[in-house]
């Protein structure tokens, strides 16, 4: 599932084609994805201007001139792909519709943005912009890891009573927004923390050290266009490249990249998810 860097990369890629532009026509080609689409979604989108494209956790949010916000979740395999002429960047004709092209936005200016989702685990919803923070998808989400509300004092306070493994706690979207399996594995390796260590047992100094590491890993991944594993593509169809710098994720059996370590990357399963770590570097 795309994590924060992938969703942020998609958002940035969509801005030239969508932000500040009117939706000339919205075509909703099925009644649902993960759950039913909002009532009259195509009519509520057609003719509206996307005033702002932003991100909250793993959701792309499109604020509309109607006072509503379109909430987009990519799910496991969802893609937002651009075709047509967009400010002179893309010059190809629109491709023929594909089987899994479920929602199509024909934008003012000639660009077409297609939401393609083979597994149909993605989702879209519409909510009033003014009360968006109370929407059931958005309300439980914790602070953005790249924002000012996420700092050392906050993380120390939230982790001090958590007896779950640190890996599980950092995956909890109520604690911190947008982190997923890939980046938590990479963060814990850089921090030298074993994924099975109980969060409440970590020292204050070790917890505080996680904040800049989380910021660094996410920023590097965004700069690399995210990590392309299986289905993920950027909005222009290109792959992300952060997977080429993985130090532990999906590296089971490979030598640890730390200078002088000599150990082999191991894998354990936590709550049904694979955790990759170095048994020497991570304690």
Query: Which residue is catalytic, options 3, 6, 8, 186?
Result: 3
Q: Which long-range contacts (CB under 8 A, 24 or more apart) does 254-260 make?
A: 256/280, 256/281
Count CB neighbours of 30 within 10 A: 13
- Find the distance separating the first CA and the last CA of the chain, reported in whole Å: 28
Active site (annotated) includes residue 58 = yes
Ranges of H-type helices in the chain: 4-18, 41-45, 152-159, 166-171, 181-191, 204-223
Query: Which residue is catalytic, options 48, 56, 58, 247?
Result: 58
Query: Which residue is catalytic, options 2, 5, 16, 145?
Result: 2
Decide if 152 contacts 208 (C-beta within 8 A): yes
Active site (annotated) includes residue 273 = yes
Task: Give the phi and the psi of residue 280 in degrees, each rounded to 5.
Answer: -90, -45
Residues catalogued as catalytic? 2-3, 58, 273
């Amino acid at each position: 599932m795309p994590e924060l860097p992938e969703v942020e990369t998609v958002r940035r890629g969509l801005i030239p084609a969508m932000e500040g532009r009117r939706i000339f026509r919205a075509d909703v080609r099925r009644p649902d994805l993960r759950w039913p689409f909002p009532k009259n979604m195509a009519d509520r989108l057609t003719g509206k201007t996307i005033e702002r494209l932003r991100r909250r956790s793993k959701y792309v949010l499109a604020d509309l001139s109607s006072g509503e916000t379109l909430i987009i979740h990519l799910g496991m395999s969802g893609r937002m792909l651009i075709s047509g002429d967009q400010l002179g960047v893309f010059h190809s004709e629109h491709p023929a519709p594909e089987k899994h092209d479920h929602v199509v936005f024909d934008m003012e200016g000639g660009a077409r943005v297609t939401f393609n989702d083979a597994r149909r685990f993605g989702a879209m919803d519409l909510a009033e912009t003014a009360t968006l923070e109370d929407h059931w998808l958005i309300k439980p989400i914790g602070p953005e890891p790249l924002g000012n509300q996420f700092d050392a004092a906050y993380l120390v306070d939230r982790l001090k009573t958590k007896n779950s493994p640190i890996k599980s706690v950092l995956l909890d979207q109520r604690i911190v927004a947008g982190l997923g399996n890939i980046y938590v594995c990479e963060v814990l390796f850089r921090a030298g923390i074993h994924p099975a260590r109980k969060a409440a047992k970590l020292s204050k100094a070790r917890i505080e050290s996680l904040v800049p590491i989380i910021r660094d890993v996410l920023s590097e991944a965004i700069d690399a266009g995210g990590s392309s594993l299986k289905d993920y593509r950027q909005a222009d169809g290109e792959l992300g490249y952060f997977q080429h710098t993985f130090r532990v994720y999906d590296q089971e059996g490979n030598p640890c990249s730390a200078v002088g370590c000599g150990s082999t990357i191991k894998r354990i399963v936590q709550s049904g998810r694979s955790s990759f770590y170095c048994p020497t570097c991570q304690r």
